[in-house]
Amino acid sequence: MTGILIEGVTGAGKTQTLQALVQHVAFSSLLGSGRVFAEEETFGEIMSEIQEPGISNEQYLRRLTHILGLVEEKAASSRDRVGFVLERFHLSYYAQLPDWDLYAGLDERLARLNCITVLLSIPEQDLVRRCLDRKERAGTSWTQDMVTHFGSREAVLGAVIQSTRRRREAARMSRLPLLEIETGAESWSEYATRIVEEWSALS
């Protein structure tokens, strides 16, 4: 079994990279009988949930433990090639609650599954355009909601920078191999090829 964890702040290009990855000629053979776990499954509404008083560690990590269980069960029961892709996982959680002790066990399990982390980053000069004033969110309340949540446009950008820093910090503590890709050129098919090369090397 081998897998890919795609990480990055909002606007970093996770969705576009994943779409290009799925279209890559080698993707089907690498995924085999496995599956892709989208952000809705891995991350959900944890950013709002963590604000609720009294949330336990078990509740906080429930999505991660459930998905890892599914992947491990599939690996144990299948004789076919099994791959998996996670769009966001424990590095995103660390960005919200930076206590590595919460995630170390999950990280060890991912390492046993031959998983690699792909960390997508944004050049600082592109943060406003890519994270705050997102073209694909035009006509929605996205920007105003972000400003309301954090207090100001400057605070939003500060939170994005901190979130990126925390992901890198978690990646340094992780046992997983790391591929960091700066997505300033927005060359999604090129990034997909780089990921496929790293993923293939795990095999």
Residue 203: pLDDT over 80: no
- Cα separation of 45 and 199, whole Å? 29
Q: What is the mean pLDDT of residues 66-83?
A: 90
For 50, 66, 109, the CA distances from 57, given in Å and listed in that order, are 10, 14, 18
Whole-model pTM? 0.92
How does pLDDT run across 35-54, given as a tens digit for each residue?
999 999 999 988 888 888 88
Both tokens assigned to 51? 């604000």
**Domain annotation for the chain: domains and CATH numbers:** 2-202 (3.40.50.300)
